[in-house]
Amino acid sequence: MGLQDSSQDLSTEMEVDAFRRIFPLRFFERHLSESLRPDGRQLGKARDTIVNLGLVSTADGSALAKIGSTTMLAAIRMEVMTPSTDSPDEGCIALEFHMPPICSPTVRPGRPADAAPVISKRLSDTILSSGMIDLKELCLVSGKAAWMGYLDIYCLDADGALFDAALLSAVAAFSNLQIPVVALNDNGRIVAITGGKDQDNASITEKEAVNKEKRKLTLKNIPFSLTCILHKNYILADPTTEEESIMDTLVTVVLDSSDQMVSFYKSGGSALAYSSAIKSCVELARKRAKELNQILGEMDID
Amino acid sequence: MAAKPGAATPTYSPKLVGSSRLPIFKDSDLDWSRPDGRGFHQCRPALLQTGAVSSASGSAYAEFGNTKVIVSVFGPRESKKAMVFSDVGRLNCNVSYTTFASPTIGQGTDHKEYSSMLHKALEGVIMMETFPKTTVDVFALVLESGGSDLSVVISCASLALADAGIMMYDLITAVSVSCIGKSLMIDPVTEEEGCEDGSFMMTCMPSRYEITQLTVTGEWTTPNINEAMQLCLDACSKLGEIMRDCLKQAASASEE
């Protein structure tokens, strides 16, 4: 593949791969000037997204989300807790994002990745403040027992746009969640009712299943996010790791299903976000939210 | 409103745990049927795939029944720790579990014992002199633990190393055998491992018929050990065939 005319002598003689490694910024700018990216995408287009539900049999709800090569596995397990006295009717969600050493050459075992706690906190804030989950639905017995949902998200392959993929997998896992049917025991403990076995039903005679109807959570205002890179006057949606490493200004917009903005995040970077850039990012995020809503909608039908 | 999971909110799982099936002994007969209906000398069907992780030099995904493992290989790359020149390469292994790998909620920490056993199994088969001064990192993540975890990790690791192009003397495969009473069961599941009297794990190079690692724990009689060894060698060579097919398919798929 020949390079177009260039003022630099060195770059006309080099192979493409070497040029890509040694002059990454120029390599990308050559593509951007033609409104393309090296993988052939348009500037505002996100990569192919796939969501699969219910893969982890030990969890009450799970989902695998892939955006391009970035792969996230989210799993929710429900446990019972005593709710706090100032909110006796509410349960709780504990979210944690892990980047195991398999996902990227930059992560070492024993030392958590730099990005992991940041994404963990942002995800937690986004999910709880978007109002997607009504914590009152997690209540079992007011003041005595409520559900605590442990949501663990594992990054299996890190190729850029980690926050987007993690949020998508978390939302999909919640939509897949089947809360186990439980009843209140004589001792005041909550026990699970398993359909087949009869040995322990003797002790659960009086109390009916506490939550026979409420097996699935109602999700309203589902948040969807899009991360973009701002570089000079280009806006690139859904960056890969290579793009993120060369161009440092990342902007994440989170919108919910009614087009309200849930969060806007830009942390430093050399490019300034003027209001025109912000508006374009929000526009791109809006389109992306529609795509993601459709993908999730197709999943729920199963 | 948000949880502070580290703080003192104790939670408990409502599921009925601990109702395990005990083997029923009738004199010297053992009335044990395997939970998944397999024969005593039958391994679980194996699903193997290479190229699971695009950011790694080589990777593999293995699914043996309910045991699901991903292994990534990075390297040969610069050793951050080694200050001394060495004319052979170094190998660094790490095995970790997810928090949802086992039915009871765990912490998902690194499993140091398995990491060191993986290292011992691999160091006999990798040609370390082909990458002096550098390190090859082998990282494994157990997504779901359904029994025989370490054997699956070792086989998957050797597939990932082959995918990464690291030079080895041969592929290695690992199989474990459980002894319950007088019966031997190959490729045990978690339930069987929980009530076994002895466990036997063997890692071997199928084409060369050489064993790189052998771990025997518990109560074993000599005839049982011999039988276990024969079972394992046989299963290892069959698993080796499956792994070779997987690599051939991956190679021909990439040529298209």
B202-213 pLDDT, tens digit each: 999 999 889 999
Name the phi and psi angles at A208, rounded to 5.
-70, 170
CB of B190 within 8 Å of a chain A CB? The answer is no
Chain A positions touching B19 (Cβ under 8 A) are 197, 199
| Look-up of token digits 């009869």 | A198
Cβ contact B14–A190 (<8 Å): yes
Cβ contact B108–A152 (<8 Å): yes
Predicted local distance difference test score (pLDDT) of residue B106: 67
Pairing outcome for strands A92-98 and A145-157: parallel
Give the mean model confidence (pLDDT) for residues A28-53: 90
Please tell me which of the candidates A100, A159, A190 has its beta carbon nearest to residue B96.
Answer: A100
pLDDT at A227 over 90: yes
Task: Give the span between the Cα atoms of A185 and A210, in whole angstroms.
Answer: 10
Chain B positions touching A158 (Cβ under 8 A) are 55
Predicted local distance difference test score (pLDDT) of residue A212: 59
- The tokens of A101 are what? 């050493």
Please tell me which of the candidates A78, A87, A192 has its beta carbon nearest to residue B16.
Answer: A192
Task: Give the span between the Cα atoms of A165 and A255, in whole angstroms.
Answer: 14
Task: Give the span between the Cα atoms of B250 and A38, in whole angstroms.
Answer: 25
pLDDT at A203 over 50: no
Task: Give the span between the Cα atoms of A75 and A153, in whole angstroms.
Answer: 6
| Long-range contact pairs involving B109-114 (C-beta distance under 8 Å, separation at least 24) | B110/A109, B110/A110, B111/B142, B114/B149, B114/B150, B114/B153
CB of B109 within 8 Å of a chain A CB? The answer is no
Task: Give the span between the Cα atoms of B205 and B212, in whole angstroms.
Answer: 7
Chain B positions touching A73 (Cβ under 8 A) are 98, 143
Percentage, residues of chain B above pLDDT 70: 87
Task: Give the span between the Cα atoms of B39 and B21, in whole angstroms.
Answer: 18
Mean pLDDT of chain B: 86
Predicted local distance difference test score (pLDDT) of residue A240: 93
Please tell me which of the candidates B12, B16, B71 has its beta carbon nearest to residue A80.
Answer: B12
Q: Kindly report the pTM of this predicted structure.
A: 0.88
CB of A73 within 8 Å of a chain B CB? The answer is yes
H helix runs in chain A, sequence order: 9-13, 16-22, 24-32, 115-129, 162-176, 241-246, 275-300
CB of A267 within 8 Å of a chain B CB? The answer is no
Cβ contact B5–A96 (<8 Å): yes
First vs last C-alpha separation in chain A:
46
Give the sheet arrangement for strand B183-186, strand by strand: B183-186, B173-180, B198-205, B210-218
A287 by DSSP, 3-state: which? helix
Minimal C-alpha gap between A76 and chain B (Å)? 8
Name the phi and psi angles at A233, rounded to 5.
-110, 25
Q: Which of B15, B48, B59 is nearest to A69 (CA)?
A: B59
User: B37-81+88-255 — its CATH code?
Assistant: 3.30.230.70
A148 by DSSP, 3-state: which? strand
C-alpha count within 13 angstroms, C-beta hemisphere, residue A299? 25
Task: Give the span between the Cα atoms of B168 and B122, in whole angstroms.
Answer: 9
Instruction: Write out the DSSP string of A23-51.
Output: SHHHHHHHHHTTT--TTS--TTPPPPEEE
Predicted local distance difference test score (pLDDT) of residue B82: 64
A45-49, A155-159, B76-80, B125-129: the lowest-pLDDT one: B76-80
Predicted local distance difference test score (pLDDT) of residue A171: 94
Mean pLDDT of chain A: 84
Predicted local distance difference test score (pLDDT) of residue B2: 40
Q: Which of A161, A99, A77 is nearest to B103 (CA)?
A: A77
pLDDT band at residue B216 under the 50/70/90 scheme: very high
**pLDDT tens-place string over residues A106-121:** 998 888 888 899 999 9
Residue extents of the structural domains in chain B: 37-81+88-255
Residues 6+ apart with CB under 8 A from B230: none
CB of A58 within 8 Å of a chain B CB? The answer is yes
pLDDT at A208 over 60: no
CB of A181 within 8 Å of a chain B CB? The answer is no
Residue of B nearest to A200 (CA): B16
CB of B72 within 8 Å of a chain A CB? The answer is yes
A279-288, B31-40, B45-54, B128-137: the lowest-pLDDT one: B31-40
ipTM: 0.87
- Count Cβ atoms within 10 A of the Cβ of residue B59 and give its class: 0-12 exposed, 13-18 middle, 19 or more buried: buried
CB of B70 within 8 Å of a chain A CB? The answer is yes
Cβ contact A75–B98 (<8 Å): yes
